[in-house]
Chain A
Amino acid sequence: MKLPTPPLPRALKPKPGRPGSRPPGNGDANGTGGNGKVRDLRPGTPDGNGERPSKGGPRVDRERFKEQALEVPIGVAGWLDERSGMSPFVRGLAYRKVPRGTNWWYTLGSATMFAFVAQAVTGVFLAMYYNPAPSEAYESITHITNDLFLGEFVRGMHKWGSTVMVILIFLHMARTFFFGAYKYPRELNWVIGVVLLVLTLAMGLSGYLLPFDQRGFWATVVAVNINASAPVMGPYIADFLRGGSEFTATTLSRFYSIHMLIIPGLIAALIGAHLYLVAKLGTTAPPWLKAEKAKALNQEEL
């Protein structure tokens, strides 16, 4: 007597193929649509003809997985793909089309992201030596600047990187504004973008206090006072930022954690959402372009 094979755990079930993806096995169908089984939609597979009943499934499956297991992955990419099955996803991303007329203005978003990554890297190195105690902060910055190998260079890159990132984010926003890229269906991406802009400026503000020199300190005192002048919420926000009603040691460590944990985490997550939408919706075509075939198509329909 032959027992049916137990169902496979979810992770091992073959993913449905996408057009252009490599066949996971030898390509025989393991069932038809409508029975909850995985369908293989690759051109040239007999799937979709609705002939074979799914009862024959387990047997065919076994063959198929034998094939899949025997397939020797080539190189690291193959090894990764065998385990993650992500090559169709990566391929879809890489070979997705960008509209005709995509030009240099469209690089500003990715340049902003690059500047953010650069800030994260230089920031991590600064965090290895920085000490957010009022009596130590200034000294640790002097130590970084004067004693460490390339210390001043890394600090300078972090400082000027912030300027560059702010310029890039404003340019990117101006591009999407003048190209009308905030309109349907990309409204949500604009809203996420505005939040990213606020967070980026908040990075500049919270980082300015950290070296704990006169200029940064007093500029921050004024900035927090400005916050306090807002109606209703103002005083509460100011108290939260200071960690009390006065500037104390808590204020500095609070700004430090806001600057290196809270805001960067939010920015990274929101950049993820932003890019997801960019990949899903596609980037706009330049607004002065008209599709040449559009008219022809409409004619044909008539």
Chain B
Amino acid sequence: MNNREKEDYLREYSILKGEGKSFFPYAIAKDGSMAVITMLVIIVLTLALGAELGPKADATTTSFSPRPEWYFFFLFELLRVVKPPELTFLATMGIPTICLVLLLLLPFFDRSPERNPLKRPIATLAGITTIVAMAYLTLLGALGGSPTEIELQAAGQEDGKQATASSGCLGCHRIGENGNEIGPELTEVGARLPREAIARTLVNPTQPMPSYAKLQKQDPEKFQDMVDFLASLK
């Protein structure tokens, strides 16, 4: 906006403001009603859905699902879209950071004086696209399968299968029909990686996968079962 446009805006705004009503009681009545509605929604959600509490945190045994609050699903699911491991940092930090910087600087690169959404097609379309993308990713996250089931037929590996199922791997990885696609698929890891490499990855994983070093230290047998099971997937 140049000075002329700024002046025009200020003049027009002061007239529209002059034509308006006073904040009290008109605007505050609407704000107050909205506050009451907000309160009621919170109370209804609380009464209907309660406050669940999972089993106590335990850094060694691992029947966990590393699922964030639902409003972070869209960030979490970016990992599903960006596949190659070397690009993981793009999904975890790169894309969110770029989006955030764009959002922060919005008033500095969109400087046209036009405010009507119908006359700003680029901005309006970009806004709608962002909302749809976030909604889609959130939905993907919500529909992601339960992380504690493996229906794979792998004869003779019951212990390992159970250890893997209860360790939350499927919160991020797919094995056969189950699990999520945030990390690489594990259905055939055995063919891709030797046993030692699998064990090494579990102890010293690439970000953002959590490490299983504690499990290895405190329950080496279970850890070994897990590695055996994974190595047998071919």
Contact = CB atoms under 8 A, between A and B. Distances in A.
Contacts of B168: 218
Interface stretch (B98-106, B187-195, B224-232): B98-106
Q: Size range of the interface on A?
A: 35 or more
A129 interface: no
A240 interface: no
Interface string B94-128: 00010010011011101111111110100110010
Contacts of A234: 93
A184 B9 contact: yes
Interface stretch (B27-35, B151-159, B173-181): B27-35
A107 B34 contact: yes
A159 B23 CA distance: 32
A99 B51 contact: no
A209 to B, nearest CB: 9
B58 interface: yes
Given A101-B16, A180-B117, A93 B23 contact: yes
A226 B93 contact: yes
B51 A98 contact: no
| Residue among B12, B37, B42, B43 with max Cβ neighbours from chain A (10 Å) | B42
| Residue among B28, B68, B127, B168 with max Cβ neighbours from chain A (10 Å) | B68
Nearest to A139: B56
Contacts of B11: 294, 297
A44 to B, nearest CB: 23
Contacts of B127: 174, 177-178
Interface stretch (A7-15, A22-30, A111-119): A111-119
A182 to B, nearest CB: 5
A100 B16 contact: yes
Given A106-B27, A164-B45, A216-B54, A114 B68 contact: no
Interface in B1-50: 1, 6, 9-13, 15-24, 26-28, 30-31, 33-35, 37-39, 41-43, 45-47, 49-50
Chain B interface SS verdict (over half): helix
B196 interface: no
Contact of B57 (A98, A214, A223): A214
Interface in A177-193: 177-187, 190-191
A293 B64 CA distance: 64
B63 interface: yes
Interface in B55-69: 55-59, 62-69
A98 B13 contact: no
Interface stretch (A60-68, A75-83, A283-291): A283-291
Contacts of A114: 34-35, 38-39
Contacts of B143: none
Interface of A: 93-102, 104, 106-108, 110-111, 114-115, 118, 134, 138, 141-142, 145, 152-153, 155-157, 159-164, 166-168, 174, 177-187, 190-191, 194-195, 198, 201, 204-205, 208, 211-219, 221-223, 225-231, 234, 247, 282, 284-285, 287-294, 297
Interface of B: 1, 6, 9-13, 15-24, 26-28, 30-31, 33-35, 37-39, 41-43, 45-47, 49-51, 53-59, 62-72, 88-89, 92-93, 97, 100, 103-104, 106-108, 110-118, 120, 123-124, 127, 131, 168, 171, 207-210
Given A98-B17, A111-B31, A212-B57, 12 more contacts: A98-B20, A99-B19, A100-B16, A101-B16, A110-B31, A115-B42, A168-B38, A182-B107, A216-B54, A223-B208, A282-B13, A285-B20
